[in-house]
């Protein structure tokens, strides 16, 4: 989220909200960021998104920068348009995601703008369970969180009086519980140690894909299920090595977590480090040849 500098109403007029939404659609498509929900108020905006391309900082730089440029040209004046760097939270899982979406969509109700969240025209409330209404968003992903439109409305309305469980950490805020916070920080530290020296990032800028998503990506890349690999062959061992790299780099799993997967049941824990390095070097060589 972000808000106007000193609480300014930077989205006070219809044309300003329309322009911001046009930029949101364009830049989300260009940076391949998945938008799940949004809400524009006069003084600030909220977005729920997936850092699906790892380009979230670039996404916000362009979104805030281009809107601020347009706003100053249109309104005149000097100084900052937005208060600060965008504020963001890492969300633990689907349950907490539902809570966040409910909190976001009922923001206009809490502010006294409408009595029913579905009546507010500047949020994604009416994008769900209405095919074709917001094709630029991943509305279908949100719909799958609920059993029906009635269940969606019921759960969203619970967000009116709900406070989000925000946990502050040394590298950013997390919406979730303490156990998830500890795990996320360990993954963040491991990712940061692999990044360029001196590179400074927040925890929400290190994107980890769900394991199921990584396994699906592997299936799409190599046209075989991980569990169906024949690791008695050279090709099967090569593909298992590639899977190991994906699980560690994209899903952020530790070797102790990876070793519990059936495909690695005949591999010793202490051997995974060498297998990972060999596979990653091989994959890098293949990329250079291309």
Residue with tokens 């979230």: 56
CA-CA-CA-CA torsion for 253, 92, 42, 10, nearest 10 degrees?
-20
How many other CB atoms are there within 10 angstroms of residue 287's CB atom? 8
Check whether 38 has a pLDDT greater than 70: yes
* Chain centre distance of CA 69: 26
Are the C-beta atoms of residues 244 and 279 closer than 8 Å to each other?
A: yes
Tens digits of residue pLDDT in 215-238: 888 999 999 989 899 999 999 999
0.85 exceeded by pTM: no
Predicted confidence band of residue 205 (pLDDT cuts 50, 70, 90): low
- Which CATH number among 3.30.70.1290, 3.50.50.60, 2.60.120.460, 3.40.50.720 corresponds to the domain 2-161? 3.30.70.1290
Look at residue 290 and tell me whether its pLDDT is greater than 70: no
Q: How many angstroms separate the CA atoms of 25 and 7, rounded?
A: 25
Domain map (residue ranges) of the chain: 2-161, 211-289
Per-residue confidence at 197, pLDDT binned at 50, 70, 90? very low
Q: List strands edge to edge, sheet with 34-40.
A: 2-3, 44-50, 34-40
Rounded CA gap, 111 and 154, in Å? 19
């Amino acid at each position: 989220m972000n808000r106007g500098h000193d609480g300014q109403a930077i989205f006070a007029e219809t044309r300003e909200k329309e322009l911001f939404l046009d930029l949101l659609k364009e830049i989300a498509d260009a940076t391949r960021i998945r938008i799940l929900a949004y809400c524009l108020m006069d003084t600030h905006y909220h977005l729920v998104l997936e850092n699906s391309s790892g380009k979230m900082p670039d996404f916000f730089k362009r979104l805030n920068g281009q809107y601020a440029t347009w706003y100053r040209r249109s309104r005149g004046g000097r100084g900052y348009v937005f208060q600060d760097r965008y504020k963001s939270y890492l969300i633990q899982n689907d349950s907490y995601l539902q809570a966040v979406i409910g909190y976001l969509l009922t923001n206009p109700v809490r502010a006294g703008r409408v009595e029913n969240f579905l009546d507010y025209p500047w949020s994604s409330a009416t994008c769900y369970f209405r095919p074709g209404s917001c094709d630029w968003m991943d509305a279908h992903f949100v719909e799958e969180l609920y059993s029906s439109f009635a269940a969606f409305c019921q759960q969203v309305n619970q967000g009116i009086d709900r406070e989000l469980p925000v946990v502050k950490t040394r590298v950013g805020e997390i919406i979730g519980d303490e156990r998830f916070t500890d795990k996320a920080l360990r993954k963040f530290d491991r990712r940061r140690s692999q990044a360029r020296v001196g590179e400074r990032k927040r925890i929400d800028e290190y994107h980890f894909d769900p394991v199921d998503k990584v396994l699906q990506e592997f299936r799409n890349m190599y046209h075989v299920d991980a569990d169906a690999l024949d690791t008695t062959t050279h090709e099967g061992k090569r593909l298992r090595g590639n899977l190991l790299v994906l699980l560690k780099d994209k899903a952020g799993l530790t070797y102790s977590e990876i070793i519990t997967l059936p495909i690695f049941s005949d591999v010793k824990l202490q051997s995974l480090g060498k297998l990972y390095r060999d596979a990653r070097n091989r994959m890098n060589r293949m990329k250079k040849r291309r």
